[in-house]
Structure 1
Amino acid sequence: MRKRRPLWAIGYFLMGGACLLLAVVMAAGVSRVVHLIPVVILGVPGVVLTFRSPVFGVRYGPDGLRYSGLLNARSHAWAGIREVRVAVLSSTVYSSDVPELVLVSGGTDQLYMLSGHSFGRARNKRVVRLVAELEAARAAAS
């Protein structure tokens, strides 16, 4: 079973830890209910980012793949995946390349936490390599 994690998972972990630390410091000085609002605003995202960021990524092997995102995790067997390709989510300033699973059922599943940004028509090389690895693993399993 191979694992691929985005590099910025470490940044999310550090940001979540900082938010959590600020929430704890603010909670230590809270004397009224109104002051609890900033604690909740910093504490909840801090807990989510701190405890979910170490599992961001995709694991794949002969049986299929398991994707772990910010708030969810999904598994797909290789038999249920027809193709792995790069999808482009475009905007006015930059585009984002994201791995996309084309399912046998006709739907798609985009792996947003593994996306990469690029400017112009250039593809994100990291996303292209990941898609090639996933497609090779899918082809080898079938």
Structure 2
Amino acid sequence: MRKRRTPWALAYLLIGLVCLLIAVSVAASATRVDELIPIVLAGVPGLVLTIRAPMYGVSFGDAGVKYSGLLNSRSYTWSEVREVRSAVVSGTLFSSDVPELVLASGRTDQLPVLAGYGWGAETNLRVEQLVAELEKARTSAVPSRRTGS
């Protein structure tokens, strides 16, 4: 099983740790109830980012693909995935490429944690490479499943 992560996972982890540090330092000096608001505002997102950031990414192999995002994880067998493509949202100044799974049911499932961003209409090479790897894994796994059935 291969795993690909976003390069931003380390930044998310560090941001989470800073938020937790802020919440703990405010909690250590809090004397009134209204001083607990910053603890909740910084502590909850900090806790979520610190716990989830090391898990961000996509794992894929012969069996299928498993995506771990900010608050949830999803997994699909390759027989459930019809195509892997890049959804491009381009503007005049800023563009984003998001890996997207086209499912056999017709739905699409975007993988937003793995998105790449750039200026203008440039394509993000990291996302294009990830999409190519996922599509290659899907096409190489699906025929072997059909011959085994």
TM-score normalised by the chain length of structure 1: 0.97
Deviations 1:2-39 (A, max 9, x none): 00000110000011001101100100011111000011
Supply the RMSD in Å over aligned alpha carbons: 0.9
**Is 1:107 aligned to 2:107, yes or no?**
yes
Q: Return 92-101 or 64-73, whichever deviates more.
A: 92-101
Is the aligned partner of 1:73 residue 2:73? yes
Question: Quick one: distance in 2 between partners of 1:55 and 1:89?
Answer: 26
Matched letter for residue 78 of structure 2:
W
> So what's the TM-score if we normalise by structure 2?
0.93
In structure 2, the partner of 1:117 is 117
1:31 and 1:48 map into 2 onto residues whose CA distance is: 26
1:55-70 to 2 correspondence within 5 Å? Answer: 55-70=55-70
Q: Give, in whole Å, the separation in 2 of the partners of 1:30 and 1:93.
A: 44
SS of the aligned residue for 2:85 comes to strand
Task: Say whether 1:42 aligns with 2:42.
Answer: yes
- How far off is 1:93 after superposition? 2.9
1:94 corresponds to which residue? 94
1:91 to 1:71, Cα distance in 2 relative to 1, 3 A: farther
Q: How far apart are the structure 2 equivalents of 1:98 and 1:75?
A: 17
Runs of 5+ consecutive residues of structure 2 not aligned to the other structure: 143-149
Counterpart amino acid of 2:83? E
Q: What is the Cα deviation at residue 118 of structure 1?
A: 1.6
In structure 2, how many angstroms separate the alpha carbons of the residues matched to 1:65 and 1:56? 13
> How many residue pairs align between the two structures?
142
What secondary structure sits across from 2:89 in the alignment?
A: strand
Name the amino acid aligned to 2:54.
P
* Equivalent residue runs for 1:6-45 within 5 Å: 6-45=6-45
Cα distance in structure 2, aligned partners of 1:45 and 1:90: 29
Give the whole-Å Cα distance in 2 for the aligned partners of 1:11 and 1:128.
Answer: 22
Letter of the structure 1 residue corresponding to residue 42 of structure 2: L
Aligned amino acid, residue 104 of structure 2 = V
Give 5+ residue unaligned stretches, structure 1.
none
Q: Which residue of 2 aligns with 1:130?
A: 130
Deviation at 1:91, TM superposition (A): 4.1
115-124 vs 53-62, which deviates more? Answer: 115-124
Q: Distance in 2 between matches of 1:62 and 1:34?
A: 53
